[in-house]
Structure 1
């Protein structure tokens, strides 16, 4: 659902149709983009720049909001994990395909605000890890990390991703 302003300048629901389709990653993770803008700041009159398919990397100067459903790790085959690592290397650059001792370990050039809607997921860092459950929110600030669903059921999260830069 998207709000807008009608011809009389009054607030209305301007779009209440189906959301964009789900995209399945090699690991079985489902991703649906809800809103994408190519540039910040955003005009309140702007229309989303969503595509028919999820573009994994967020816009370089914009923002993306997406829902993701992570399947239990126990349901992911070694072949699917390898395919996902290869896809991430193309998107996030060299050094992410290996992942180290933790599959899926990667770094992004984004600040991500992630809220767990249902289930639980482990945020694994290079040093330490924490479990996030329904209602928990994490601000992921471009650090090397991986997501693990160690439970026996899917976990649903909503994430807003914004571009970031490093002060090296």
Structure 2
């Protein structure tokens, strides 16, 4: 696997460390995480790199925590890479939409329920999202119609707004994300 962040890959190497009961360091795993792809969003890749539905604690042996949904609950977190396809990527004209929705729910549990069916990609989650563009460029569109161009080496901190990510360009855009589940008051 190449370490060149400007290239899109169908897998990412993930190295996990931990701590033994005696306090010594340990390499827990060194493995490849494959991309999740769904026909509903052709060309997009989703990498679930790490996460938990509970706050992290130390010491930690480094075992992979259990979590079941794409977006974390309050106190949980997710570490993900999302590759936005270039402009013009559309589902096949003969796509069975019910099957595509079922497949997306199976591969990316909970994602579809957060999406606005009238405005594809627009969604809102109870989370603080820390996003870094590792390569490419895209637009962050907010629920009020505001659009912000974001490019390689730039970061976004989202504090729970309704939003969508759009890629109006000819190249993929890679978003490295850390999502912190929060409780929405009010």
Within the candidate set 35, 41, 47, 2:50 is matched to 35
Which residue number corresponds to residue 158 of structure 1? Answer: 176
> How many angstroms does 1:166 deviate by?
2.1
**What is the TM-score when the length of structure 1 is the normalising length?**
0.79
Please name the residue that 1:122 is paired with.
139
- Would you say how many aligned residue pairs link Structure 1 and Structure 2? 158
Is residue 158 of structure 2 the alignment partner of residue 133 of structure 1?
A: no
Contact 1:34 1:65 in 2 (8 A): yes
Distance 1:40 1:143, change over 3 A: same
TM-score, L = length of structure 2: 0.72
Instruction: Output aligned runs, 1:1-168, within 5 Å.
Output: 1-6=15-20, 9-19=23-33, 21-25=34-38, 26-28=40-42, 29-45=44-60, 46-49=62-65, 55-77=69-91, 90-92=112-114, 96-99=116-119, 103-125=120-142, 126-168=144-186
Kindly indicate whether the alpha-carbon contact (under 8 Å) linking 1:57 and 1:91 is maintained by their aligned counterparts in 2. no
What's the CA shift for 1:47?
2.1
RMSD: 2.8
Q: CA deviation at 1:50?
A: 5.6
Gapped runs of 5+ residues in structure 2? 1-14
- Greater shift, 56-65 or 143-152, is seen at 56-65
Cα-to-partner distance string for 1:42-67 (whole Å, 9 max, x where unaligned):
3341522267xx84232443111011
User: What is the alpha-carbon distance in structure 2 between the residues aligned to residue 127 and residue 105 of structure 1?
Assistant: 11
2:158 alignment partner, SS class: strand
Gaps in structure 1 of 5+ consecutive residues: none
